[in-house]
Amino acid sequence: MNLVTFGASYSVTSINRAWAAAVGKRILELTGKEGNIHSLDLNKYDLPLYTVEREAQIGLPEPAKWFVDDLAQADLIVVSLAEYNGSYTAGFKNLFDWASRVELKFFQNKPVVVTSTAPGPRGGLTVLQTAADRFPRHGASQVVVGPALPGFKTHFDLASGRLTSDEWQQALDQSLQPLLESI
């Protein structure tokens, strides 16, 4: 099983990238299946700000096509949403807009696990709900909603890539049940 994971952020030190990869690892553990995790760094997809005039001028940039091609390699996609001011980060929304011009249904009929994390107490819950509502319109065959993990530094150990909280481990495992029943 090929998992593609990414944090919806252009931060070089994105906590959501680390969290998405950890969720991917947990899915493989729970299924007991062999698999590969390809953790995308959005900085690979360097894109100008989307405008309709720019698209008319330059067409569809290669990095937007690479993103859609990289998603095509997945059997399962894990996205962890970073939240800026209650919404998507501008960088991810820009990539999202370009990708939707390459292929409106850019998730290409694959199951998508959506989750989020933040240093703060809501863990990015607002943007998580936005994405959970929106992603089926972009070709996610199934959207499995994982936790909005708050207090990232308190509940997650970056060195081991693991949760340090039993409560959040249970919340994650429980949220993945619908996925485990369908794959």
Ligand X SMILES: Cc1cc2nc3c(=O)[nH]c(=O)nc-3n(C[C@H](O)[C@H](O)[C@H](O)COP(=O)(O)O)c2cc1C
* DSSP codes joined into one string, 98-146: HHHHH-TTTTTTEEEEEEEE-SSTTTTHHHHHHHHHHGGGGTEEEEEEE
Positive or negative, the Cα torsion across 180, 20, 125, 91?
A: negative
**Smallest gap, in angstroms, from Cβ of residue 144 to ligand X?**
20
The type of residue at 49 is L
Residue 120 touching ligand X (CB under 6 A):
yes
Residue 115 touching ligand X (CB under 6 A):
no
Map residue 69 onto helix, strand or coil: helix
**64 or 118: CB nearest ligand X:** 118
**Smallest gap, in angstroms, from Cβ of residue 103 to ligand X?**
25
**Smallest gap, in angstroms, from Cβ of residue 88 to ligand X?**
11
Residue 124 touching ligand X (CB under 6 A):
yes
Residue 119 touching ligand X (CB under 6 A):
yes
**Smallest gap, in angstroms, from Cβ of residue 9 to ligand X?**
3
Find the part of the chain contacting ligand X (CB under 6 A) among 28-36, 79-87, 104-112, 136-144: 79-87
Nearest Cα to Cα of residue 30 among 155, 169, 164: 169
**Rounded Cα–Cα distance for residues 124 and 111 (Å):** 21
The site for ligand X (CB under 6 A) is made up of 7, 9, 11, 14-16, 82-86, 118-120, 122, 124
